């Protein structure tokens, strides 16, 4: 369990009250919460719950499994690089096709490595997101505004808007941070031109195989 797991219970309970107050009483027209609501498109409690639900565990497992696949591709690439004592037209054709196949294996291995790296990056983003929200929840739970919201005082609606703005600002940062994760480029295999079989030599010449 991390800090967000410990704070999620009381934090989301408080934000349920905040959401209810915002729906029933709204917020002043010039309050900072309005642009945040438009950007995040969710109430504070809903947005915070989405971050609480994030877990890096499945990504770590996926990255590990993909890296195991990469090792298999490395083994295949090594097998394809083993010299074959084959001369003549058929030998040349075989070498051409083998080189093309090796290029494809390398491209596929590169793609898998990129997938694993992306999974690592997203997992780190989840960690940052959870730490950031935990820090904000720790502040709002202990705030004077939280007391007003829970007690239902005359300033509860304004206090709810202030708490909501703090939480939505944190979630907005989470979204921006996630959007900044570089999107993977086109698969390496698609960008590599395989050696064309049409350019390989014909089979009307003498072929010699050494034993």
What is the Cα 198 distance to its own chain's centre? 41
- Residue with structure tokens 């010039």? 30
Q: How many CB atoms lie within 10 A of CB 43?
A: 21
Residue 200 lies in a domain: no
Q: Provide, rounded to the nearest whole percent, the portion of the chain with pLDDT above 70.
A: 84
Residue 202 lies in a domain: no
How confident is the model at residue 47, as a pLDDT?
98
| Residues of the chain predicted below pLDDT 50 | 184-211
Residue 121 lies in a domain: yes
Residue 30 lies in a domain: yes
Domain holding 29, by residue range, is: 3-195
Residue 45 lies in a domain: yes
Cα 19–157–145 angle (5° rounding)? 90
Residue 171 lies in a domain: yes
How confident is the model at residue 107, as a pLDDT?
85
For 50-75, the pLDDT digits (tens) are: 999 999 999 999 999 999 898 888 78
Total number of residues shown for the chain: 211
> Angle between the 3-25 and 144-151 helix axes, to the nearest 10 degrees?
60
Residue 16 lies in a domain: yes
How confident is the model at residue 75, as a pLDDT?
80
145: tokens are: 């505004």
Residue 119 lies in a domain: yes
Q: Report the C-alpha gap between 53 and 148 in whole angstroms.
A: 28
Domain count, the chain: 1
How confident is the model at residue 106, as a pLDDT?
83
pTM: 0.76
Q: Report the C-alpha gap between 28 and 188 in whole angstroms.
A: 52
How confident is the model at residue 183, as a pLDDT?
63
What sign does the CA torsion over 76, 77, 83, 86 have?
Answer: positive
């Amino acid at each position: 369990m991390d800090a967000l797991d410990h704070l999620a219970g009381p934090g989301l309970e408080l934000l349920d009250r905040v959401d209810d107050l915002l729906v029933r009483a709204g917020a002043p027209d010039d309050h900072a919460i309005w642009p945040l609501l438009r950007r995040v498109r969710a109430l504070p409690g809903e947005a915070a719950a989405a971050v609480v639900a994030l877990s890096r565990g499945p990504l770590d497992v996926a990255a590990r499994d993909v890296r195991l696949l990469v090792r298999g591709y490395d083994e295949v690439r090594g097998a394809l690089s083993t010299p074959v004592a084959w001369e003549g037209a058929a030998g040349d054709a075989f070498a051409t096709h083998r080189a093309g196949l090796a290029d494809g294996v390398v491209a596929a291995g590169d793609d898998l490595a990129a997938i694993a790296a992306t999974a690592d990056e997203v997992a780190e983003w989840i960690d940052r997101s959870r730490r950031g929200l935990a820090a904000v929840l720790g502040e709002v739970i202990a705030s004077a505004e939280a007391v007003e919201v829970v007690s239902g005082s005359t300033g509860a609606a304004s206090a709810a808007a202030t708490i909501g703005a703090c939480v939505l600002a944190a979630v907005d940062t989470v979204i921006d941070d996630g959007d900044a994760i570089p999107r993977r480029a086109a698969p390496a295999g698609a960008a590599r031109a395989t050696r064309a079989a049409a350019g390989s030599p014909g089979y009307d010449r003498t072929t010699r195989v050494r034993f």
